[in-house]
Amino acid sequence: MSSSSYYLGPRRPRLQLSTWADVTIAASAGVLDENQWVELKQAVPPSSRAANLELAKDLASLSVDGGLLIIGIEDAAGSAGQVVGTALDGLQSRIAQVAAGRIAPPLPVTIDVIQKPDDPPLGVVVVTAPASEGAPHMVDSQYWGRSAHGKRVLSDDEVRRVLLDRQARTAGFAERVRALPGRLDPPQLGDRGRLYILLEPGAASKEPLADLLAGKQLLQLAASGLRFDPQWGPSFRSLTYVVPHPDGIAAASVSTDAAEGAGHEYFFGLLGDDGSLYVSAPGVRPYGHKADAPEVLSPGQLLETVHAAVALAAHIADEYVGYQGPWRIGVLVTKLRGIVASQAHSAYGFQRFLPFPSEEYFAVAHATTREMADGTPAVVERVAKNLLRGLGVDGRFFPYREPADLIQRGG
C-alpha cells in the first residue's frame, strides 16, 4: 500500500500513513488529537437523517481551513484514544453522498482507507476535506467552521468576512494575469515576447508563506519539489539571485541590473505570501540563441516551464500549506504575432508552421492541488493546447506524460 501524506496544521510536519501500525503510533503519540484541523470519530452511526447531518457538519466545518475527519479511533475527550477501526462496508459511498448531497455547496473530499490486518472488514477511514473556494459551507441552514475545540456555527460577521475574502480572490483574475509584465519585469528587460504564469489558490494561506517556509528560497524549493531536471534554461533551477520583494519570496536567473540585453536569459519567480506563484520566463527567442537569427517560440521549453510551475505550486501547497482545494491558472504569452515555432527552422520545413496570428496568447484553467500534482501534463494541456494549435504543433506535443517526452518530440 502506498503512503499518503496528511496536513495537520501550520508548523507541524506532514503525517505519513500507510499501515495500521502507522495509525496506532500516531494516535498514541498524540499526533491525531482533535484540533482545528482534525476531527475524530470512533464510528458513524447507522444511516439516518440525524447521523448524516452530523457527518455533514463535521465535513463542512473542516472546509474553511482544510482538515481531516478520521473514523475508527476512540475520541477520549478530544485526545486520540485506542485505534479500534470501524465497519467499512458502504461507508466510503455514504461519506461521498453526504459530502455531495447534504452540504451546500457540495464539498469534494478524498477518502483513504487503512484496513485492520487481522480483521479486513474493519479499518480506519481518513477523509480529507480541502480548504474550499466555496467555503463557508452550509448544513441545515447554518454555516460551519472550527476552533481548537472542534466544529462550531460561524457568526454572521465571520461568514461575511470569509465570503468577502473569497470574492476578492475570484474577481479580477484575468486582469491580474494581464498585469504581470508590469509587475514582474525590470524596466530594462527588452521588448521580446515573454511567457507569464500565475497560479492562484482559491483560499489564501492562513499564515504568510514566507513564515511557513522558515527561510527556504525558491531555488531550494525547486530542487526538492520538481521530480525532473529541466532540459531548457533558464528555469526554476536557475534562480540563483535572491530578489527582495514586498509580496513574498522572489528570485531571478540573472541580476536585475544585468537584465538589459539579456532578456532571453531572465527568469523570475515570486512565491506570494498567500501561496500564489508568479513566473516571468523567456517566450520568444532568437533561433539557436544567435542575436541576428529569426525569432521563434520553443514549444518544448514553454511546456516544460508551465509544467514545472504547476508541479512546484502543488508541491508547496501540499507540503507546507496543506491546501488541497481549487486553483486558478493563467498563462499569458506576449508579442506573438508573426512568430513561428522553433520547428519551422529545423528539418521539419517552414511550410508546415504558419506564423501565429495574434499579438498575444491568453488562457485560464482550473484545477485542484491533487490534479496539479498527480496529473500535471493534463493541466498543462488545458492552458497551452490552443497556443500550440496556433503554431501548428499541437499534434506533435499532445498528449505527453513527462517533460522528458518533450525532447523526444523535437521540442
Query: What are the pLDDT tens digits along the chain (411 aa)?
Result: 445 778 787 767 778 899 999 999 999 999 999 888 899 999 999 989 999 999 999 999 998 888 899 999 998 888 999 999 999 999 999 999 999 999 999 998 989 999 999 999 999 999 999 878 788 999 999 999 998 778 999 999 999 988 887 777 778 899 999 999 999 999 888 889 999 999 999 877 778 888 888 899 999 999 999 999 999 999 999 999 999 999 999 999 988 776 666 667 899 999 999 999 999 999 998 887 666 778 999 999 999 999 999 999 999 998 888 787 789 999 999 999 999 999 887 765 444 677 899 999 999 999 988 899 999 999 999 999 999 999 999 999 999 999 999 988 776
CA distance 150 to 51: 17
Amino acid identity of residue 351, one-letter, is Q
Q: Which of 60, 73, 64 is nearest to 31 (CA)?
A: 73
CA distance 23 to 122: 14
Question: Which residues share a beta bridge with 83?
Answer: 73
CA distance 80 to 27: 5
Distances 57 to 137, 146, 155, 207, 215 between C-alpha atoms, Å:
9, 10, 15, 25, 37
Which secondary structure element, helix H or strand E, spans residue 40, and what is its range? strand 38-41
CA distance 210 to 247: 10
For residue 17, report the phi and psi dihedrals to the nearest 5 degrees. -130, 125
CA distance 143 to 118: 41
Residue 131, Cβ density class (10 Å: 0-12 exposed, 13-18 middle, ≥19 buried)? buried
Which residues, 6 or more positions from 384, have their beta carbon under 8 angstroms from its beta carbon? 302, 303, 306, 331, 363
Distances 5 to 178, 264, 290, 319 between C-alpha atoms, Å:
36, 39, 47, 9
Which residues, 6 or more positions from 229, have their beta carbon under 8 angstroms from its beta carbon? 237
Distances 90 to 93, 360, 397 between C-alpha atoms, Å:
6, 51, 42
Alpha helices per DSSP H over 15-90:
20-28, 49-62
DSSP state, residue 215: T
C-alpha cell at 338: 508573426
Taken as a whole, the chain contains a residue count of 411
- Region of 19 on the Ramachandran plot (φ > 0 left; ψ -120 to 50 alpha; else beta): beta
Question: Which residues share a beta bridge with 146?
Answer: 151
